[in-house]
Amino acid sequence: MNFLSPRLSDLQLITYNQQQKMIWHIAKRELYDNLNSLRFALATVLLLALMLTNAVVYLREHPARTQAYHNAAADAVKALEARSTSLYRLATEGPGGLHKIPSPLRFCAEGDEVFLPKHADGRNYIRDIANLTAVWRMGYPQETPSLHNIRPDFTTLDWAFIVSYVLSFVAILFTFDTISGELERGTLRLTLANSVPRHTVLIGKFLGAFISVNMPFAIAVLMNLLLISTSDAVQLNAGAWGRLGILYAIVILYASLFIALGLLISAAVRESGVSLVVLLLIWVSFVVFMPNTLASIGSRISVPIAYVEFWNQRIRLSDEARAAYQDKYGGSQTKPPVHVLGEYVSKEAEEHERYNEAYLKEQIMQGKRARAITRISPAAIVQRLFESFAGTGFERHLQFIENVQRYAREYREFVVDTDRADPASLHVVGIREGMSQKPVSPEAIPKFKDTLSLNRDFNTAATDLLLLVLFLVVLMSGAYLAFIRLEI
Amino acid sequence: MLMTLIRRELLDNLMTFRFAAAVFITLLLVVAATAVLIKDYERRLVDYNTSVETHQQNVRKRQTYSPAIVRVYVDRPPNPLSLFNVGLDNRLGNEINVSPWHVPSLWDAQMNSSDNSFLNIFSSIDIVFIFEVVLSLLALIFAYDALAGEYEGGTLRLVLTHPVQRGYILLAKYISAMLCLLMPLLMSLLLALILLTTSTSIYLTTDDFLRVGGIILASVAYLSVFYFIGLLISAVTRRTSTALMLSIFVWGFLVLVYPNVVLATTAPQDTSAERGASAFGQIKQIWEEFDRERKHFLATDPVPGEDPMFDIDSPDGWGAGDGFSENRLTLSYYYWSVLYYNGKLTEESLPRVPHAQNYYGFLWRQIIDTADQTWLIRRQTLEDIFVKPALIDRILLKLSPVGMYDAATQAWTGTDLKGLQDFFDAVRQYQRTVIAYLYDREAFKSRLWFASDETVVDWDTLPQFSFERSSIGTNTKRALPDLLLLLTINVVLFTIIFLIFIKSEV
């Protein structure tokens, strides 16, 4: 075939097979260029160092974390079973501490686990009301480790950081000159002088860059997982490996996104120096600044009252309830009927719990708003996706709270049902004289089990996944258009 | 000659797209961040003011000493310069109890603001951070082709055919690049200051402007380090493409990777548990000794078999409580005691009042002495467990210019650890003043400690807490080591580049 003067018929002769061959040819050329380059070596070293640090830090911290959880959970169960001496105790003292199970995939995304509460409490932690024992209610304590933390600020070295910051950085460095560089050297003209359709060239370049970005990352990830899976401190089950697979798919999407961006800017700007500067500035704004600045704007839309304020209000609320009771029944010598007392204690606990939950809801809403607005930045999306699938962070905590609330209902139903089974009881829950005093078999008491459902994770992540794909499609078509219209 | 060279370099740098883009992004980010930070500061200021108001009212509405001194709280005002470098300013507690039963420290402070743990993952971005990331990148971008580009283009040979000293060429390049970097720096600071004046609640003093001057100084030294790093790479590699790649990776490593890797690997271990537990045991022992003495005092008291309330009675209402309070995490352990009667005391309890006065006079002297004793142990242990590792972290961070720059600017703004410790020192000072005041009035052994039947406490003479941020001289002293370190690195890098450049063949 005479490539120097292609006729129409010749162009049509380029079959699908040949096109594919051409794509591979170009991709291979790109790949060889990259493999020999300084940037490939630097990127490999950088990613490898980060991933190994990640594994080492995780292996150092994880066993203690799991141990602490198991101890706390075992203590809680023991305390609960100690209350099985009478149903009345179970009904007033409640299920006790409910603990959040730590995710084995915390090395993928730290979330903000350090700052999130590790447990919820179902106890009667308020004083007795006049001569009555209060009934338990769910409370959601806060973690404030930052109060004592005088270390400098830093970002944790999880996969989410390595991917959203470093991998995108590497992707930009691999692609900023793929088109502009060839334009400057004039080799692009040479390539296109052959009867190669432009989109073939673009796809080839994309593939080349894709493989050269993914290769160092894949090596680093494999080393990381090798370290983690060979250590006997951690057992990753099939579910965890499945989640890791999903996470890797997200990495591929995200890396492609930045490669497409690199190709787009590289084609649009035509000068490598400028294209790198533009890309770096975009990178800095979208990856480093946007997630944080936007979140602080978003969180300010509605601000719940301070926790101290909430705490004081709650004390005021229970004081009022106590005063109201005192006014009504405190003076009289004879005790009011049992069902009046029962109604009173359960109402007090209910109102208290409702108040706790309303405050929690406000905080969650604030967190959700702050997170929603950061979706403009793909880096923030990836951070969220990593958290969702690693079972850490905000969404995971919401799931924990849901589990807690479901369990609280189950526990209450258990108490009511067991009480109903006792013919001697008056069925007034929460009052000593009103309900069954019989011991309960410790095995029969429902125990709290914190679970993670992949199904739910997919649901919460669906929007983010779609957004990521949308970003990718837009950037790909942008790159395609820019390259098609490129004048050489 | 130098002027000609500088003019040439300046035009080369200024007329580029990369310069325009970088300036634009810097201004945009600084304006956005400043707007957010001002709102944040205003919110914290409102929180602070309401909190001060509430705390004062809480004390003033008591008629006797005992329930009031429990409620003496001090609030930490937000630092207006935290806009530039937030440091520890909005992380550490800002509300602290100064009751005489324990010596207040940084670890006893609580947070009084809208603290939502679901937002902790987002870090606040301040102006210095923007300079740290964006302008250092710009410095490298100016530098990477400064020498390599001229080697490649052959223009260096051309320039050197003139009777120009090589040092002059370097100097011209340096001066012009720094001028170009100063432009976005000063422009964005100016914009930030303009935005600040639109806010009615932020008031900057003359000293504050001097401190901002100090921040500019540190920024120039920091950017100059990055320019020299770029120049060094450029001189060594002699090829623009290699120099560019290497510079960007060095930037990513120094700014992004190194600080996080260092802090992640030095994360505090739980080895502190043992040290903390032994100190906590010691503190507890001292307090138990105190409790034995207290019980002994009560037992030998002429009124036999009375509890600390001495069976004093008031029909108008009363409150009482005592006991030990502990927090293992912060090694806090102390004895507290509250007792008060509103209105008239009953006739039959009047003879017991002198006994109660006697007891509380004794009790509080003991409590205050014991608190002082335990503080010595507590302070040492807290230093070992919390402060020392944090200082080591900061030293390790200084292996990257980012760490030095951050430390220097925090020293200027007063949001560093030392600046915060100043506040807690002032709080401890204030606690001594309050105790001295109470001793002076003989409050502990007075009838007014618990009963308001004869007179009520006049709170107007109670000393008020005030905190002045450290003087500019102190700020300078604290910033100087890091500033000098940055300057030394500058000089060293310049010398190396100069030697390489002098000896290089064109």
In a domain, A135, yes or no: yes
Residues 6+ apart with CB under 8 A from A47: A162, A166, A167, A170, A216, A217, A219, A220
The answer on B320 and B230 residing in a single domain is no
A230 min Cα distance to partner chain B (Å): 21
B439 min Cα distance to partner chain A (Å): 32
Give me the pLDDT at residue A128, please.
65
Record: contact B133-A153, CB cut-off 8 A: no
Of A155, A313, A308, A296, give the one whose Cα is nearest residue B94.
A308
What residues of chain B lie within 8 A of the CB of A150, using their CB? 88, 92, 106, 386-387, 390, 417, 420
Residues of chain B with pLDDT under 50: none
Give me the pLDDT at residue A61, please.
87
Q: What is the DSSP letter of A1?
A: -
Q: Is A67 on the interface with B (CB under 8 A)?
A: no
Instruction: Determine the residue among A148, A164, A311 to mutate to test chain B binding: the one whose Cβ has the most chain B Cβ atoms within 10 Å.
Output: A148
Q: Is B299 on the interface with A (CB under 8 A)?
A: no
What's this model's pTM, rounded to 2 decimal places?
0.90
Of the CA atoms within 13 Å of residue B413, those in its CB half-sphere come to 27
CA distance A279 to B247: 15
For residue A46, pLDDT over 50 is answered with: yes
pLDDT, chain A, mean:
86
B184 min Cα distance to partner chain A (Å): 14
The answer on B198 and B231 residing in a single domain is yes
Q: Is B390 on the interface with A (CB under 8 A)?
A: yes
In a domain, B55, yes or no: no
CA distance B138 to B247: 11
What residues of chain A lie within 8 A of the CB of B43, using their CB? 300, 303
- Locate the chain A residue with the closest alpha carbon to B387: A150
Record: contact B249-A42, CB cut-off 8 A: yes
pLDDT digits (tens, 9 = 90+) for A157-189: 899 999 999 999 999 999 998 888 888 888 888
Percent of chain B whose predicted confidence (pLDDT) is above 90: 47
Looking up tokens 């004093």 gives B312
In a domain, A23, yes or no: no
- Locate the chain A residue with the closest alpha carbon to B122: A292
CA distance A328 to B86: 53
Record: contact A285-B29, CB cut-off 8 A: yes
For residue A7, pLDDT over 60 is answered with: no
Record: contact B246-A42, CB cut-off 8 A: yes
Record: contact A296-B36, CB cut-off 8 A: yes
CA distance B269 to B375: 24
The answer on B465 and B321 residing in a single domain is yes
Percent of chain A whose predicted confidence (pLDDT) is above 70: 94
In a domain, A441, yes or no: yes
For residue A5, pLDDT over 70 is answered with: no
In a domain, B64, yes or no: no
For residue A14, pLDDT over 70 is answered with: no
What residues of chain B lie within 8 A of the CB of A115, using their CB? 117, 120-121
Number of structural domains, chain A? Answer: 1
Most confident of A103-112, A245-254, A301-310: A245-254
CB contact residues (below 8 A), chain B span 49-88, against chain A: 88
In a domain, B14, yes or no: yes
What residues of chain A lie within 8 A of the CB of B239, using their CB? none
Here the ipTM equals 0.87
What residues of chain B lie within 8 A of the CB of A274, using their CB? 16-18
Please give the full DSSP string across A177-210, using - where no structure is assigned: TTTHHHHHHTHHHHHHHSS--HHHHHHHHHHHHH
- Locate the chain B residue with the closest alpha carbon to A146: B91
For residue A291, pLDDT over 80 is answered with: yes
The answer on B409 and B310 residing in a single domain is yes
Count of A-B CB contacts under 8 Å: 199
Domain span at B339: 269-473
For A140, the token pair is 């959601």
φ and ψ of B288, to 5 deg: -65, -40
The answer on B285 and B260 residing in a single domain is no
For residue A74, pLDDT over 80 is answered with: yes
Q: Is A295 on the interface with B (CB under 8 A)?
A: yes
What residues of chain A lie within 8 A of the CB of B39, using their CB? 300
The answer on B233 and B307 residing in a single domain is no
In a domain, B103, yes or no: no
Please state the separation of Cα A55 from the chain's center in Å. 19
For B131, the token pair is 């300079």
The answer on B313 and B291 residing in a single domain is yes
In a domain, B165, yes or no: yes
Record: contact A148-B88, CB cut-off 8 A: no
Looking up tokens 């008056």 gives A426
Of A288, A38, A43, give the one whose Cα is nearest residue A170.
A43
Of A112, A165, A299, which has the smallest distance from its Cβ to B256's Cβ? A165
CA distances from B317 to A126, B151, B340, B450, B452 (A): 22, 91, 9, 12, 11
CB contact residues (below 8 A), chain A span 182-241, against chain B: none
Record: contact B123-A116, CB cut-off 8 A: no
A42 min Cα distance to partner chain B (Å): 7
CA distance A128 to A143: 27
Q: Is B21 on the interface with A (CB under 8 A)?
A: yes
Give me the pLDDT at residue A216, please.
94
B226: three-class secondary structure by DSSP = helix
In a domain, B113, yes or no: no
- Locate the chain A residue with the closest alpha carbon to B129: A289
The answer on B281 and B243 residing in a single domain is no
CA distance B91 to A184: 50
Number of structural domains, chain B? Answer: 2
CA distance A453 to A101: 13
What residues of chain A lie within 8 A of the CB of B394, using their CB? 152
- Locate the chain B residue with the closest alpha carbon to A284: B134
The answer on B187 and B172 residing in a single domain is yes
Give me the pLDDT at residue B456, please.
84
Of A43, A152, A276, which has the smallest distance from its Cβ to B263's Cβ? A152
The answer on B398 and B387 residing in a single domain is yes
CA distance A455 to B404: 47
Record: contact A289-B93, CB cut-off 8 A: no
CA distances from B411 to B82, B84, B404, B475, B479 (A): 11, 11, 10, 6, 5
Domain span at A236: 38-484
CA distance A465 to A386: 11
pLDDT digits (tens, 9 = 90+) for A328-381: 776 556 677 788 888 888 888 888 888 889 889 988 998 899 898 999 999 999
The answer on B362 and B486 residing in a single domain is no
CB contact residues (below 8 A), chain A span 257-286, against chain B: 272-274, 276-278, 280-281, 284-285
In a domain, B75, yes or no: no
In a domain, B111, yes or no: no
B358 min Cα distance to partner chain A (Å): 32
Q: Is A145 on the interface with B (CB under 8 A)?
A: no
The answer on B22 and B150 residing in a single domain is yes
For residue A38, pLDDT over 50 is answered with: yes
pLDDT digits (tens, 9 = 90+) for A102-157: 999 999 998 888 888 889 998 886 666 666 788 888 988 887 666 778 888 888 88
In a domain, A32, yes or no: no
Q: Is A173 on the interface with B (CB under 8 A)?
A: yes
Give me the pLDDT at residue A2, please.
45
Looking up tokens 């200051």 gives B193
Of B341, B145, B352, give the one whose Cα is nearest residue B245.
B145
pLDDT digits (tens, 9 = 90+) for A400-442: 999 999 999 999 999 999 988 888 888 888 888 888 888 888 8
